[in-house]
Amino acid sequence: MPTLDDNHTGARIAEQRKMARLTQRQFADLLPYSYSLLTQVECGARPATADFVAACAKALSVDVTVLTGQPYVTELQRDRLAELVRPIRESLDLYDLGPNPDLTVRPAEQLIAGADQLCEEVRATHLRNAARKLPTLIAELTNTAWSAPSTQLWQALASLYRTAHDICVKLGYYDLSAVALDRMAWAAERASDPCLGAVRQYMRALVYFREGEYQIGQRLVSSGHTIVGQAEITREALAVTGQLHLGGSVIAARAEDVGAVVLHISEARKIARRIGDASDVHWLSFGPSNVALHRMSAALEMRLYDDALKQARKIKLPPQLATSRRAHFLIDQARTEMETGHTASALKSLVEARRLAPEQTRYHPAARDTITGLVHMSRRTPDTLNHMAAWVGL
């Protein structure tokens, strides 16, 4: 059987457990998971699922990133992505400095169009291009919004901050993503845009979802519904409401609240039937397909792997679905396939995710841990799996 080094989440969990001076038995007693699962995860025999990692982080009082090892700096440096983070960090700190008289700025309509284009690039998983353009565009839009304030300019700036959040999350810089969300709230308030404010609450809820704080996540979803309820009932407001329900469904699934999962999916489905595909609204990918994807994700989060796999095999992804969402689905599907013993199919799904969205897949902790699990399960590691493991830095 192939051997693994200590560069996997299970090994980091073991390290943090030992630093807390806990035996495996003692630590297992603090988790809603069995001693057997803990021992298997720590040695790499089972993948460290997101819910398991969140529970361990909460019990150890550390951030999830301490256990996942994010950001994956070595790989980011090799890919020349790490050098793009500092300019983003600096641009996020310009928000309250007012106009910059030394800055050459493009016309407002070009800046607004540029903000929308960057959202589209992130959905297409062109992270490097988006990350390079983002700081300059934030600086120019900040200057213009202060010089000649308008609703459109503040909305565009809020959109750029949301893009900064998306890029930072995908690269594993969660501390910086939180700063970007704060800036998004600041700009959304100046735009007096309840839909943007609700989108921000949705994204905050997903932050707490990753950290295992499901009650806070549910409260943020509820807050988002209250905020969007202040807007007129438009296609935009309905799409945001529907996406809040989808976010609520996966949070409820992690919290093992089956009734809430059913309710959220049902409400989202009603909205999707009413407005159809609304993937253009705030680039949320909301629509009937995304409802089906979240229903499958909820089954996955509840560890109903057979059900999740059945659903995954019935899903027909529409051509207009964002590449980032398509790759996310493939990573989820790979996990369900591995958990149900379909290891060859799991590897095939991961290879396809890599083909579609190489940067997103390489830095996705679920993809890395599924590869770890496949390596351990293989009596003889296929060359393709060896290449995938080396590619993600295992």
pLDDT digits (tens, 9 = 90+) for 159-202: 999 999 999 999 999 999 999 999 999 999 999 999 999 999 99
- Is the residue at 9 inside a domain? yes
Count CB atoms within 10 A of the CB of residue 269: 18
* CATH code for the domain of 34: 1.10.260.40
Domain boundary among 47, 69, 91: 69
State pLDDT tens for residues 273-282.
999 999 889 8
Burial class (CB in 10 A: 0-12, 13-18, 19+), 268: buried
Report the domain count for the chain.
2
- Is the residue at 106 inside a domain? no
- Is the residue at 348 inside a domain? yes
- Is the residue at 28 inside a domain? yes
| Residue 8 DSSP one-character state | S
pLDDT of residue 5: 56
State pLDDT tens for residues 124-160.
999 999 999 999 999 999 999 999 999 999 999 999 9
Domain boundary among 69, 97, 120: 69
Domain housing 24? 1-69
Q: Are 195 and 235 in contact (CB under 8 A)?
A: no
Residue type, 342: H
Q: What are phi and psi of 176, to 5 degrees?
A: -75, -30
Cα–Cα dist 215/221, whole Å: 10
Cα–Cα dist 75/98, whole Å: 37
pTM over 0.85: yes
